[in-house]
Amino acid sequence: MAASTAAEFKFSETCYLTRIPNFTSPNPKFCLRWFAPVTEVKLCGHVTLASAHTLFTTALVNSNIIEFDALFATLTAERLPDISLTNVSEIQNGGVDGCFLIELNFHTVPVTNFNSAEASLISKALNDAPLIDVKRTTTDGDIFVIPQ
């Protein structure tokens, strides 16, 4: 059903966020899942960030840390003061008009070097974009491309 709803919305990712009673941590906990129009997605950073921002700004949580139980791991989002502010009292009061930063903590994935011959094919697929590095995850074979 979630994938069919995502297909109906036609967005690249649609997220489902559900509060979970949390008896083991002082932080509020939510189940967070991401769906593309065809399948469930393992990770979607921009939707995670948007979910955390919504929870922090609508006072749905009374905490500076939120835990998200995702398909593969537990992620955290932390509300931090905007240290670019110059007035100490603004930082202590949550920033100007509630300005703050959100730090997301994702799990790490082991990676390995990528075959240089295959990297040139990736560059060609990206309209001959120059690449700084290409890595492959050792768990799922996903490819990380760092363009120049």
User: pLDDT digit string (tens) for 46-93?
Assistant: 899 999 999 999 989 999 999 999 988 889 999 998 777 555 555 445
Q: What is the pLDDT of residue 32?
A: 95
Q: How far is the CA of 55 from the CAs of 2, 25, 51, 82, 122, in angstroms?
A: 21, 18, 6, 18, 38
Q: What percent of the chain has pLDDT over 90?
A: 28
At the topology level of CATH, where does 2-107 sit? Diaminopimelate Epimerase; Chain A, domain 1 (3.10.310)
pLDDT score at 145: 86
Which tokens belong to 135?
Answer: 């890595």
Query: CA of 54: how far to CAs of 47, 57, 133, in Å?
Result: 10, 5, 34
Phi, psi of 28 (to 5 degrees): -65, 145
Domain boundaries, the chain: 2-107, 110-148
Give residue 9's pLDDT.
64
Mean pLDDT of the chain: 82
